[in-house]
Amino acid sequence: MAWDSSRPVPWNRLIREWLIYAAIMSAVFVVFFRGDNVVGAIAGVLISGPLYLAFGAAMAKFGYQRTRLKDVRRSATTSADASTSASISAADDTPRPKPAPTSRTAGGANRPKSSNRRKH
């Protein structure tokens, strides 16, 4: 898609996502880099904020919209409901065909002979 300056940028969503990321990564850095340079690691996380917001805004202007978990769940439940209702209605209309015999179901013509026979 082409750049469109009239496309809206979801600032609240971008800021919320970055704040969650920053909180988690800061906690991870504090736990794993206790005696080391924690200040530098947290400064790097803080510097990533404007970069993330600028990149997210540019992608939004190009028309990119990341699917939300709410949308994924909604489409999964509607498709599951549709497939379930379609399979139930198809099952009511026609009986299920009998599967073809195989050597494992002992319905085939080439059954192995029993090897338990004793010779006297």
Q: Report the distance separating Cα 92 and Cα 90, nearest Å.
A: 5
Total-model pTM:
0.58
- Could you please report the per-residue DSSP string of 25-56? HHHHHHHH-SSS-HHHHHHHHHHHHHHHHHHH
In this structure, is the dihedral angle defined by the CA atoms of residues 108, 110, 116 and 120, taken in order, positive or negative? Answer: positive
Higher pLDDT, 74 or 118: 74
Q: Report the distance separating Cα 11 and Cα 117, nearest Å.
A: 81
Q: Report the distance separating Cα 12 and Cα 46, nearest Å.
A: 17
User: What does the pLDDT read at residue 36?
Assistant: 75
User: What does the pLDDT read at residue 38?
Assistant: 87
Q: Is 52 exposed, middle or buried (0-12, 13-18, 19+ CB in 10 A)?
A: middle
Q: Which two tokens stand for residue 40?
A: 């530098």
Tell me: the pLDDT tens digits for 3-25?
A: 888 999 999 999 999 999 999 99
Residue 30's CB is within 10 A of a number of other CB atoms, namely 12
Tell me: the pLDDT tens digits for 74-111?
A: 988 887 766 666 556 555 677 888 888 887 876 556 66
